[in-house]
Structure 1
Amino acid sequence: MSFCDTIWQDVAPLRRAILAQPFLAELADGSLPTESFRHYMLQDSLYLAEYARVLAIAAARAPTAAGRLEFSDGAKVAVQVEQALHQAFFVQFGVTPEMARQAEATPACLGYTSYLASLAATRSYEELIAGILPCFWVYWEVGCDIKPRAVSPNPYAAWIDTYAAPSFGEATDRVRALVGEAAASATPTTRAAMATAFRNATRYEWMFWDSAYRRETWPI
């Protein structure tokens, strides 16, 4: 079994917990409170700004042309998506420029982005890209899971369509292939570290949606 197949099975309980999130269930049936989705959008905008930086570092560290191209393109898309949030979703869901300027990363958002930044700054390229992968792969699974059961019309249809789109699945496949290629030539110790990075990032994915549903703020 390939490295990616193994770690995907390893996090199966986490993936089931993500798909069972009330945030996603209510997003699919259109009943998710606007306030929760607004909270998610603001945090996602902050996340994407930092994720783009991490992808750019991965591109700079990539040992192959394919890796440099994929991660540099990914960084560009993350910036474009962040800008699109301001132009479309923010307008649709009543996020004002002032709200966007004043938004502060929640513990879940700051924890996730700081973890990825620490991988980029202090760990191997292999660990870094393993930590990057869940943001692609988990979202692709979520999009594919929600799309068939989403009600129509749905106020969140554009979000659902984005992550269920074949083009997003193709991007996921390319990043997964890069991680598999890196794992194939890595030592057992490095592969174990890659699995830990993938698992931790998947945990943060669960935490991100949970915090959005609860509209998490700092407790003190």
Structure 2
Amino acid sequence: MAFFDQFKEQCPDWECYVDHEFVRQLADGSLPEASFKHYLQQDYAFLIQFIRAWALALYKSRTLGEMREAQAGINALLDLEIDLHIKYCREWGISESELTALDESAACVAYTRYVLDCGMSGGLAELYAALLPCIYGYAEIGQRLSQQDADKKSIHGINPYQSWIDMYASSEYQAVAEAAKAKFDQLCMEAAEPQLAQLQKIFNTATRMEVAFWQMGLDLS
């Protein structure tokens, strides 16, 4: 079993994360629009900090190959993903000026600063342990929801959130998640037992932060 799969199996909150009520309501289209829009706005704030984390991955890299991997992540986020997110938010009636002016929720601040702290105080392995629940979790959720709703219908007819599901179920995103998983496994192979135990703690905490991020979307705070 790959290291990542072991970490996931030993994480007590993984199922709470990938099968959260927010996710269930996304799947059947019943999620209130206000909750989704609040989530989208906070996800923009999250992406800004995520870019900083990848920049930290570049700094923490030990080889030219790792530097190039981190640079590719930064470029993808700055040159593509953030613009796509802004465009997607616009489709939901959220302007770019609204996004740049918004206040980060407590859940977003806690999660993103935790990730950055893990990277600052540790190495590349610690940073990946904090990032992987997000990167791979969304891929798993996208795949699950896509399989559950193959005919793209919801209890309300066409699911208004289907494009979000399709994005994370796409082969492109699945490939990104698998690459990150493979890199994490490589880093874990080089780690001693005490470090692996610490990485599991980081992974577990980041997963709890993901649960709180979904709940933030439902609570609108």
TM-score strictly above 0.5 = yes
Unaligned runs of 5+ in 2: none
CA deviations over 1:105-129 (Å, ceiling 9, x no partner): 1111000110011112122221111
Deviation at 1:14, TM superposition (A): 1.6
What is the correspondence of 1:46-61 to structure 2 with a 5 Å cutoff?
Answer: 46-61=45-60
* Alignment-derived partner of residue 9 in structure 2: 9
Output the CA distance in 1 between the equivalents of 2:65 and 2:206: 23
Task: For 1:28, give the aligned amino acid.
Answer: A
The 1-side partners of 2:16 and 2:172 are apart by: 25
Question: Is the 2:60–2:123 contact (alpha carbons within 8 Å) kept by the matching residues of 1?
Answer: no
Equivalent in the alignment of 1:29:
28
Secondary structure in structure 2 of the residue aligned to 1:32: coil
TM-superposed CA distance for 1:98, in Å, is: 4.1
Gaps of 5+ in 1: none
> SS at the partner of 2:13?
helix
**Structure 2 letter corresponding to 1:180:** D
Deviations 1:34-62 (A, max 9, x none): 11011000000000011011012112322
- Tell me by how many angstroms 1:3 deviates: 2.1
Contact 1:142 1:163 in 2 (8 A): yes
Deviations, residues 135-185 of structure 1 (Å, cap 9, x unaligned): 111111110111122343221122111111112111111111111111111
Counterpart contact for 2:17–2:207, Cα < 8 Å: no
Name the SS of the counterpart of 1:104 in structure 2.
coil
How big is the shift at 1:77?
2.3
Alpha-carbon distance in 2 for matches of 1:171, 1:65: 20
Tell me whether 1:193 sits opposite 2:192 in the alignment.
Answer: no
| 8 Å contact from structure 1 (residues 70, 175) kept in 2 | no
CA distance in 2 between partners of 1:97 and 1:51 (Å): 18
Contact 1:51 1:75 survives alignment (8 Å): no
Distance 2:68 2:175 in 1: 15
> What is the alpha-carbon root mean square deviation over aligned residues?
1.6
Is the Cα contact below 8 Å between 1:162 and 1:168 reproduced in 2?
A: yes
**Aligned to 2:215, which of 202, 210, 214?**
210
Change (3 A) 1:3 1:148: closer
